[in-house]
Amino acid sequence: MSLDDLFSASAIFINPETLGSFRSNLDPVWIEEALRATGTATIRKRRLPAEQVIWLVLGMAMFRDRSIEDVAAKLDLALPGKGGASVSKSAVAQARARLGAEPLKWLFETSAATWSTDAAAEMRWRGLAVYGVDGSSVRIPDSPENRATFGGQTGRKATESGYPLARIVSLMALRSHVLRGVVICPYAKTAELNESVPLFDLLHDESLTILDKAYLSASHLLAIEQAGRDRHWLTRAKSNTAYVVLEDLGAGDQLVEMRVSHAARKRDPSLPETWRARAIRYAIPGFPPSALLTSLLDPTRFPAKEIVALYHERWELELGYDEVKTHLLIREEAIRSRTPEGAWACGKNCGAYFSPTSLSGWRWRASRKKSRSSPRG
């Protein structure tokens, strides 16, 4: 597949093959501020100044099927030397190491906060910005150091996956596919549920976070609900979820009370003995009955039928992962670095996965310029 076909299949924004196209969607002022805020601005003249190295790293995320040297050339970043020679391969690697991770971390957090908040605000449901949290994984180049640091999947007879893996957990504005935040950690040594906790701190007031049933725990859901004003959660009940009905709110719609387990209260003594939620039972033809649990307790403000339909928007996060992994990267989503330090820098602190946020953000911004459609819901 050609580069043009790749991008036409995966995005509707301007082809970012030139530095100018990048700058039309990502504010260059942010680049300067990122370097100033982290004290990494280039002081002495270099053939690859720090601001150009940032564009190079972004290009590496966008043009995943090209070598780093080719990306540098395509973005006009490899400045010609004497006799027309370009910057050497070693100079590119040295420039990346010199830049470090902090400027890209700053840039990721700034762009994610700005774009996701704007996108979620434009497409609210019943006055609430709609977010989702879910996990996935990304391959790491197979080196002894990466395998020891990140681990991988294990199978029968103690077999291991062909590549080391990093676990990623994302907070996404579901209706625009713009990420608000990403946590990246070793696959074999961490659990998705625990790694999601820092993402809850990024939520703002008047929001609803949709999660799968793996997140059904008082410690996690109450952390969302009690951290601010009008913050809500919505998830599916497990088959063994037990609760006491306090009040019937309508057909298949009940106010319920659940007990917090002794183990959870031992880990966190601040948790209450019981907590309240709303249980909504429904059935889709051809499927067994299901139940949703939510902090949206007001049946007048939040109708049950709309909540049932809204829960299935959780799948938008899976579609966001698919856009990047399958359509943009053609399943070549491995972080490039063969050392743990480089993988962390290109991953966790560079947004990693800088591509989901930046690409979806640019797509949303470009489509918004074309059509100012009214918010859904």
pLDDT greater at residue 76 or residue 25: 25
Q: By percentage, how much of the chain surpasses pLDDT 70?
A: 70
Distance CA 20, CA 153 (A): 41
Distance CA 314, CA 206 (A): 18
Beta strands 231-236 and 207-210, pairing class:
parallel
pLDDT digits (tens, 9 = 90+) for 142-169: 888 888 888 888 877 777 778 888 888 8
pLDDT digits (tens, 9 = 90+) for 298-339: 999 999 999 999 999 999 988 888 877 777 666 665 555 666
Supply angle C-alpha 289, 295, 298, rounded to 5.
Answer: 95
pLDDT greater at residue 220 or residue 155: 220
Instruction: Answer yes or no: are the C-beta atoms of 236 and 291 closer than 8 Å.
Output: yes
Q: Rounded to 10 degrees, what is the CA torsion of 141, 147, 152, 154?
A: 130
pLDDT band at 99 (very low <50, low <70, confident <90, very high): confident
Supply angle C-alpha 36, 38, 41, rounded to 5.
Answer: 50
Residues 6+ away with beta carbon under 8 Å from 130: 120, 123, 124, 173, 174, 175, 207, 208, 210, 310, 313
Q: Comparing 53-62, 118-127, 271-280, which segment has the lowest mean pLDDT? A: 53-62
Counting beta carbons within 10 angstroms of the beta carbon of residue 102, is it exposed (0 to 12), middle (13 to 18) or buried (19 or more)? middle
Instruction: Answer yes or no: are the C-beta atoms of 249 and 299 closer than 8 Å.
Output: yes
Q: Rounded to 10 degrees, what is the CA torsion of 254, 259, 260, 261?
A: -130
Beta strands 290-294 and 274-282, pairing class:
antiparallel
Token pair belonging to 206: 């008047």
pLDDT band at 121 (very low <50, low <70, confident <90, very high): very high
pLDDT greater at residue 85 or residue 320: 320
Distance CA 203, CA 247 (A): 30
Q: What's the sign of the alpha-carbon dihedral 203, 209, 215, 221? A: positive
Supply the mean pLDDT for the chain: 77
pLDDT at position 130: 97
Q: Comparing 20-24, 30-34, 159-163, which segment has the lowest mean pLDDT? A: 20-24
Token pair belonging to 90: 């070693």
Is the pTM higher than 0.85?
Answer: no
* DSSP category for residue 286: T
How confident is the model over 239-266, as a mean pLDDT? 94
- Domain ranges in the chain are 106-320
Q: What's the sign of the alpha-carbon dihedral 294, 298, 299, 305? A: negative
* DSSP category for residue 128: B
Q: Comparing 2-16, 91-105, 107-121, 229-243, which segment has the lowest mean pLDDT? A: 2-16
Alpha helices in the chain (DSSP H): 3-10, 19-25, 28-37, 50-62, 68-74, 89-99, 102-122, 144-150, 192-195, 197-200, 218-225, 262-267, 304-311, 315-322, 340-346, 354-370
Q: Comparing 87-96, 103-112, 366-375, which segment has the lowest mean pLDDT? A: 366-375
Distance CA 103, CA 96 (A): 11
Distance CA 325, CA 12 (A): 17
Phi, psi at residue 265, to the nearest 5°? -70, -25
pLDDT digits (tens, 9 = 90+) for 177-213: 888 988 888 887 777 777 788 899 999 999 999 999 9
Instruction: Answer yes or no: are the C-beta atoms of 335 and 149 closer than 8 Å.
Output: no
